[in-house]
């Protein structure tokens, strides 16, 4: 028995692989393209572990995927592979179309052929779990109820539109071909191994480096924050007991505006790693022009997952953000290694020239 994890060297994927192998001896076949956000260093603790088979490759490589499926005969696939940064999708949407839509299509085709050839028991127990995002639902007003699984899809960025398309493909392969699929739509993740282009790790890294802490617009965009290890436990639960063809929203019940997140990170750093001059890190906050089409609010209603499968997050935001900041303080070598020339070029491209 084994599972195939795609995108397993990225932020959420690597946390999932590490947590899986910390709790199970079932092997993981880990397929990752190793683009800028895929990092083998995330998986360094698994070096030499026979339960972890890493393969560098693309979910869009049909022959490679077919070979892996035939060789390893996984009982399940967990699909994390995706381009996932809204700002990057605004600057260069084509990569998101290729990976999130075309790549998902080719993966589904290879999986459909594999599943169709399984013996009856293996065919019946097989699962394809597709990991998606709350951003497919669009933006909420201040007093609107949180997103449920029945909420209408209204994606507003090239990223969310490409993920919405992939969700629809997964749904269609279930309804047309009977492929036993599960889909999860999560809220904003945070935690260890988060690539420092996203809000929380960017604030930590820039604060420690004495750089400006760029906040889009008025900083009042609201997100629901989910600690990554809680997300991983929810995915394991859905994979184990989710009903075929169903969608499950995964959230942390932590709606907070971006500016509050930044102030919280600054306060923790003031306590754990004070500035040499004794001044508060919040003095480094700089307001910059908002990004185009910036969604105002996301909120996840995760009651279906709790009522049907008995899952709820273990971490509060306070405990999760404390663990996250401490992890970055303790892993400065990892941070330094991911800040390549390509990363620096991206920061300059995205933030230079924005009006204060």
Residue numbers annotated as active site: 134-135, 159
Q: Compute the half-sphere exposure of residue 270: CA atoms within 13 Å on the CB side of its CA.
A: 13
Number of residues written out for the chain: 356
- Tell how far CA 72 is from the center of its chain: 25
**∠ CA 252-217-88 to the nearest 5 degrees?**
70
Q: How far apart are CA 219 and CA 292, in angstroms?
A: 14
Q: What share of the chain is helix, strand, coil (3-state, %, to 5)?
A: 50, 15, 35
Q: Strand order of the sheet with strand 247-250?
A: 52-56, 28-32, 3-6, 76-79, 127-133, 181-186, 247-250
Question: CA nearest 227: which of 322, 307, 144?
Answer: 322
Distance CA 355, CA 272 (A): 32
């Amino acid at each position: 028995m084994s599972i195939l994890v795609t995108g397993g060297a990225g932020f959420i994927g690597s946390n999932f692989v590490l947590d899986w192998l910390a709790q199970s001896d079932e092997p993981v076949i880990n397929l990752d393209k190793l683009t800028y956000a895929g990092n083998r260093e995330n998986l360094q603790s698994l070096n030499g572990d026979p339960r972890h088979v890493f393969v560098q490759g693309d979910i869009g490589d049909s022959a490679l995927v077919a070979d892996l499926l035939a060789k390893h005969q996984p009982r399940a696939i967990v699909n994390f592979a995706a381009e996932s940064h809204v700002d990057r999708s605004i600057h260069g949407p084509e990569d998101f179309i290729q990976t999130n839509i075309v790549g998902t299509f080719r993966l589904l085709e290879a999986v459909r052929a594999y599943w169709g050839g399984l013996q009856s028991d293996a065919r019946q127990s097989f699962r394809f779990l597709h990991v998606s995002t709350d951003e497919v639902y669009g933006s909420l007003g201040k007093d609107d109820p949180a997103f449920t699984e029945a909420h209408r899809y209204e994606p507003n960025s090239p990223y969310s539109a490409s993920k919405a398309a992939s969700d629809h493909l997964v749904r269609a392969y279930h309804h047309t071909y009977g492929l036993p699929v599960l889909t999860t739509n999560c809220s904003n993740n945070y935690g260890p191994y988060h690539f420092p282009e996203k809000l929380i790790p960017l604030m930590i890294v820039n604060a420690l480096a004495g750089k400006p802490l760029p906040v889009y617009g008025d900083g009042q965009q609201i997100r629901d924050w989910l600690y990554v290890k809680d997300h991983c436990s929810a995915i394991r639960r859905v994979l184990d007991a989710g009903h075929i063809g169903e969608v499950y929203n995964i959230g942390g019940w932590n709606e907070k505006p971006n500016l509050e997140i930044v102030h919280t990170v600054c306060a923790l750093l003031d306590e754990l790693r004070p500035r040499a001059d004794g001044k508060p890190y919040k003095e480094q906050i700089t307001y910059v022009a908002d990004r185009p089409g910036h969604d105002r609010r996301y909120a996840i209603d995760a009651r279906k997952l709790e009522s049907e499968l008995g899952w709820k997050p273990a971490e509060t935001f306070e405990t999760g953000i404390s663990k996250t900041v401490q992890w970055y303080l303790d892993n400065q070598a990892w941070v330094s290694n991911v800040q390549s020339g390509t990363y620096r070029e991206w920061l300059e491209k995205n933030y230079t020239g924005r009006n204060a």
